[in-house]
Chain A
């Protein structure tokens, strides 16, 4: 892809999210989301392989449907209340439909089935953009919808934690594991949204940092499968020592940072007299912890068979000088 087109697409991605962030009118927010979708599609089909095309097609359908439903909900709200203001979405039918449309946009269960397959067909960099940047704009809108009852958000959140944990159980493809981890983390964020929005932001920012680091470490070793992960120790040994910390942080183990949002969310849920929900959320995130532990086990605690030449890359000059070899 020529640099001009590439930079146009990246700038369009930035413009789309900024437009949604800066808008108070539902139409402008929808336009920002549409610009984001349209800008990322050429980035996804860049390699023109069958898997990339299939992933882009599935992504396009899911996002286009969700965008249209979002605009329909906004128009319905305008017909009901006479206002296009984002903070004035009062009709129950309307904000339920909006929440479901935005849930499909970011990949919350039960509208999450496009996410693992789409992530699988992309390069790691595009998957990174999909996991982190593309979640910002819809999340900003979810944050601003003020529902009257927390039931829908709690149901979406719990279902996502369950689906994200259970779905990633049997996966060996790293991108699918990252997709399921994304679904589970978004479930945690949405669970607490109606009780304490600042905790949602804490969870979201920690999720962004952890996912970015994990994707980046996979990009540096160019691994997309547990098999190649297990032989990646020879490429950058320092990274092999540090990546389990990222994985365990994603799993939510103290004293790592990933424990903080989970702790605060469980505390807030208990204060709101929802101890059962808190217990279910904590128990089902053990499933996610299982596959994070399996990744760190495969990466650091095992020594898979390798030919002698495969154990030598760390001795050579590194292609990127980001970590000391």
Chain B
């Protein structure tokens, strides 16, 4: 595993751990999601630099577009949750339990 690969893999794993273990706030989970996407952006940009291919040079920009859409959807859901549940804490999302 090259150092580049190791770097963005560990960044991704840290973000994933943050997303999996989020406890209180909705927004921290969204931030971890953005961190995941950022590590993938770095990975794709470094792909072009390291392998000297121009084939997939546009991939980071497309990733950025999709990541922005997803972030927008996540924030809209944050607003919707705050409107219906009066706060955005994750413990208040308990209406649908078995």
Chain A residues lying within 8 Å of B8, measured Cβ to Cβ, are: 75
CA distance A85 to B11 in the complex (A): 24
B77 touches A69 (CB 8 A): no
CA distance A322 to B59 in the complex (A): 48
A65 touches B95 (CB 8 A): no
Write out, one digit per residue, whether chain B residues 1-37 have a CB within 8 A of any chain A CB (1) or not (0): 1101100110010001001100000100100010011
CA distance A76 to B19 in the complex (A): 20
A75 touches B47 (CB 8 A): yes
CA distance A60 to B26 in the complex (A): 12
Of B2, B40, B66, B84, the contact of A75 (CB 8 Å cutoff):
B40
Q: Tell me what chain B mostly uses at the interface: helix, strand, loop, or mixed.
A: helix
Write out, one digit per residue, whether chain A residues 23-59 have a CB within 8 A of any chain B CB (1) or not (0): 0000100010010011001000100111101111110
B70 touches A64 (CB 8 A): yes
Interface size on B, residues (CB 8 A): 41
Q: Does B49 contact A (CB under 8 A)?
A: no
CA distance A158 to B29 in the complex (A): 31
Interface size on A, residues (CB 8 A): 40
For window 81-117 of A, CB contacts with B under 8 Å fall at 82, 84, 116-117
B73 touches A41 (CB 8 A): yes
Of B19, B37, B62, B83, the contact of A27 (CB 8 Å cutoff):
B62
Nearest CB in chain B to that of A63: its residue:
B70
Nearest CB in chain B to that of A119: its residue:
B96
CA distance A120 to B81 in the complex (A): 17
Chain B CB within 10 A, most for which of A64, A65, A78: A64
Chain B residues lying within 8 Å of A61, measured Cβ to Cβ, are: 19, 29, 33
Of B4, B19, B56, B80, the contact of A45 (CB 8 Å cutoff):
B80
B66 touches A31 (CB 8 A): yes
Of A68, A118, A170, A171, the contact of B37 (CB 8 Å cutoff):
A68
CA distance A37 to B33 in the complex (A): 15
CB distance from A218 to the nearest CB of B (A): 18
Nearest CB in chain B to that of A79: its residue:
B5
Chain B residues lying within 8 Å of A54, measured Cβ to Cβ, are: 81, 84-85, 93, 95-96
Chain A residues lying within 8 Å of B81, measured Cβ to Cβ, are: 53-54, 57
B36 touches A68 (CB 8 A): yes
CB distance from A320 to the nearest CB of B (A): 29
B40 touches A68 (CB 8 A): yes
Chain B residues lying within 8 Å of A210, measured Cβ to Cβ, are: none
Write out, one digit per residue, whether chain A residues 170-204 have a CB within 8 A of any chain B CB (1) or not (0): 11000010000000000000000000000000000
Write out, one digit per residue, whether chain B residues 81-96 have a CB within 8 A of any chain A CB (1) or not (0): 1011100000001011
Chain A residues lying within 8 Å of B47, measured Cβ to Cβ, are: 75, 78-79
B96 touches A51 (CB 8 A): yes
Of A34, A53, A65, A171, the contact of B19 (CB 8 Å cutoff):
A65
CB distance from A13 to the nearest CB of B (A): 15
B residues whose Cβ falls under 8 Å from a Cβ of A: 1-2, 4-5, 8-9, 12, 16, 19-20, 26, 29, 33, 36-37, 39-40, 43-44, 47, 51, 56, 59, 62-63, 66, 69-70, 73-74, 77, 80-81, 83-85, 93, 95-98
A residues whose Cβ falls under 8 Å from a Cβ of B: 27, 31, 34, 37-38, 41, 45, 48-51, 53-58, 60-61, 64-65, 68-69, 71-72, 75-76, 78-80, 82, 84, 116-118, 120-121, 170-171, 176
Which 4 pairs from chain A and chain B are nearest by CB? Answer: A50-B84, A117-B96, A68-B36, A53-B80
